[in-house]
């Protein structure tokens, strides 16, 4: 075994180990291969086709390289002399080989991929009967979510009924973002001044992580969201609770918290239904107490984290558009109690 062959073997081994490590480190992040709906299954199908073709090309090319190396070494043995080398070059079979491998095969492979990509894109965009429309507007750096049929408004956590096709109506009121839930569908950009559609269906109830997939500014990385697919009965209950009149504060501390909220700048940036708070720069907080996260999948929604967030939202999510607020502890506690009571 020559040093060159040994070096090559080491390189191949390193690539194999890196590939295994990459495959093993994706525990938390959702994978398009772990699909939970028809649109995502289509996308994964295209992925597997591309992967299969790429693997075939790689194996064939690598096999030919190894073959050429072995043959070249045998040719360059001193006993064979110059004649062997001369016989190895030129000839009609070699130019046919270059035509087939260098032109015909790439054209065929790229044509197959083009056709499959175009038909898949058409299939996943087709309107389905019985669709539920949900309007999502990308903000900096969170997602405004509206259900036009029922007038319900929420943020970052998008409840949908499992087993029903959804038509997301996607907009942006600032820069370009991209709406992506890898386990349920491909990604579609939200573009200022334009309305795009993304269709998907979750086959099974569950929570599917989404992420802004187009660089959009300082907090692009923390512009996450969730699609929560409920059973149809749970979804109807969820929607009914939010389309009602809203309960208002039910205890002394929450009533005090509501006063603090209306008195501070909060109400100028946030909406809470059936109150004077109608701001739109920040997320609608009407059902904040039932949400799982604060700041688009930045902090778990617990009273402690909420107090930290109100005190200084810039610490966990630097550069976001909510300013710090300095309140006496009793007022902060009341405010936290009020927000956590909102369902």
Question: Which does residue 317 touch among Cu ion, ligand HEC, none (CB within 5 to 8 A, set by kind)?
Answer: ligand HEC
- Cβ closer to Cu ion: 223 or 277? 223
Given the complex with ligand HEC, which of 120 and 325 has the nearer CB atom? 325
Nearer to ligand HEC, 166 or 277 (CB): 277
Binding flag, residue 321, ligand HEC (CB under 6 A): yes
Q: How many C-beta neighbours within 10 Å does residue 213 have?
A: 18
> From the list ligand HEC, Cu ion, none, which binds 332 (C-beta under 5 to 8 Å, kind-based)?
none
Report the residue from 43, 124, 277, 335 that binds ligand HEC according to the rule CB under 6 A. 335
CA dihedral 177, 183, 185, 187 (to 10 degrees): 20
Cβ neighbours for 207, distance < 8 A, ≥ 6 positions apart:
226, 227, 228, 229
Q: Which residues of 104-125 are buried (b: 16+ CB within 10 A; e: fewer)?
A: eeeeeeeeeeeeeeeebeeebe
C-beta of 54 vs 330, nearer to ligand HEC = 330
Task: Say whether residue 294 binds Cu ion (CB under 5 A).
Answer: no
Structure token digits, residue 136: 């999502």
Closest distance to ligand HEC from the beta carbon of 146 (Å): 14
User: Does the protein bind ligand HEC through residue 159 (CB under 6 A)?
Assistant: no
Burial of 126 per CB tally in 10 Å (0-12, 13-18, 19+): exposed
Residues numbered 215 to 254 that lie near ligand HEC (CB under 6 A) are 219
Contact indicator for 99, 107 with CB cutoff of 8 Å: no
Pairing relationship of beta strands 157-161 and 188-190 according to DSSP bridges: unpaired
127-146 residues near ligand HEC, rule: CB under 6 A = 141-142
| CB closer to ligand HEC out of 35 and 317 | 317
Q: Please report, as residue ranges, which positions from 299 to 318 form the binding site for ligand HEC (by CB under 6 A).
A: 310, 317
Considering beta carbons, is residue 188 or 212 the nearer one to ligand HEC? 212
> Which residues 177-216 are close enough to bind Cu ion by CB under 5 A?
177, 212, 216
Residue 6, classed as helix, strand or coil, is helix
- Ordered strands of the 157-161 beta sheet: 157-161, 224-230, 206-212, 177-180, 188-190
Identified binder of ligand HEC from the candidate list 148, 151, 304, 323, rule CB under 6 A: 323
Min dist. Cβ of residue 336 to ligand HEC (A): 8
Q: Choose among 234, 189, 195, 256: nearest CA to 216.
A: 189
d(Cα 235, Cα 202) in Å, to the nearest integer?
13
Collapse the DSSP code of 47 into the 3-class scheme (helix H, G, I; strand E, B; otherwise coil) and give the result: helix
Q: What number of chain residues touch Cu ion (CB under 5 A)?
A: 4
143 touches 170 (CB < 8 A): no
**Which DSSP letter does residue 278 get?**
B
Tokens 């790689």 label which residue?
Answer: 58
Binding mask 214-253 for Cu ion (x = CB under 5 A): --x------x------------------------------
Question: Which letter, b or e, does each residue of 296-317 get, where b requires 16 or more Cβ atoms within 10 Å of its Cβ?
Answer: bbbbebeeebbbbbbeebeeeb
Considering only the stretches 29-37, 58-66, 167-175, 281-289, report the one whose residues sit in contact with ligand HEC under the rule CB under 6 A.
Answer: 281-289
Pair 261, 267: CB distance under 8 Å: yes
> What six digits make up the tokens of 327?
């309140």
By a kind-dependent CB cut-off of 5 to 8 A, residue 323 interacts, out of ligand HEC, Cu ion, none, with ligand HEC
Q: Give me the 10-39 binding string for Cu ion, x by CB under 5 A, dash otherwise.
A: ------------------------------
Site for ligand HEC in 261-280 (CB under 6 A): 261, 264-266, 268-270
Residues within the interface to ligand HEC (CB under 6 A) = 141-142, 155-156, 219, 261, 264-266, 268-270, 281-283, 285, 288, 291, 294-296, 310, 317, 320-323, 325, 335, 339
């Amino acid at each position: 075994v020559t040093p060159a062959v040994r070096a090559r073997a080491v390189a191949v081994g390193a690539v194999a180990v890196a590939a295994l490590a990459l495959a093993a480190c994706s525990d938390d992040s959702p994978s398009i291969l772990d699909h939970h709906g028809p649109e995502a299954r289509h996308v994964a199908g295209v992925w597997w086709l591309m992967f299969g073709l790429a693997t075939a090309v790689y194996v064939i090319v690598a096999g030919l390289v190894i073959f050429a190396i072995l043959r070249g070494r045998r040719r360059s043995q001193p006993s064979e002399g110059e004649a062997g080398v001369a016989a190895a070059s030129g000839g009609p079979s070699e130019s046919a080989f270059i035509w087939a491998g260098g032109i015909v095969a790439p054209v065929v492979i790229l044509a197959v991929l083009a056709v499959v990509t175009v038909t898949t894109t058409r299939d996943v965009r087709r309107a389905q009967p019985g669709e539920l429309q949900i309007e999502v507007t990308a903000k900096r750096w969170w997602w405004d979510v509206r259900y036009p049929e029922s007038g319900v408004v929420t943020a970052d956590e998008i409840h949908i009924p499992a087993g029903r096709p959804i038509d997301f109506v996607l907009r942006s009121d600032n820069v370009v973002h991209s709406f992506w839930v890898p386990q349920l569908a491909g990604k579609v950009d939200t573009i200022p001044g334009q309305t795009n559609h993304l269709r998907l269906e979750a086959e099974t109830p569950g929570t599917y992580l989404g992420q802004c997939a187009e660089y959009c500014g300082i907090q692009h990385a923390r512009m996450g969201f969730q699609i929560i697919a409920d059973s149809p009965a749970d979804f109807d209950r969820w929607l009914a609770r939010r389309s009602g009149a809203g309960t208002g504060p039910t205890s002394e501390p929450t009533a005090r918290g509501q006063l603090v909220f209306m008195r501070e700048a909060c109400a100028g940036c946030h909406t809470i239904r059936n109150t004077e708070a109608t701001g739109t720069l920040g997320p609608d907080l009407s059902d904040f107490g039932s949400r799982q996260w604060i700041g688009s999948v930045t902090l778990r929604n617990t009273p402690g984290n909420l107090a930290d967030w109100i005190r200084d939202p810039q610490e966990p999510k630097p550069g976001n558009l909510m300013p710090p607020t300095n309140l006496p502890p009793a007022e902060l506690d009341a405010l936290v109690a009020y927000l956590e009571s909102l369902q």
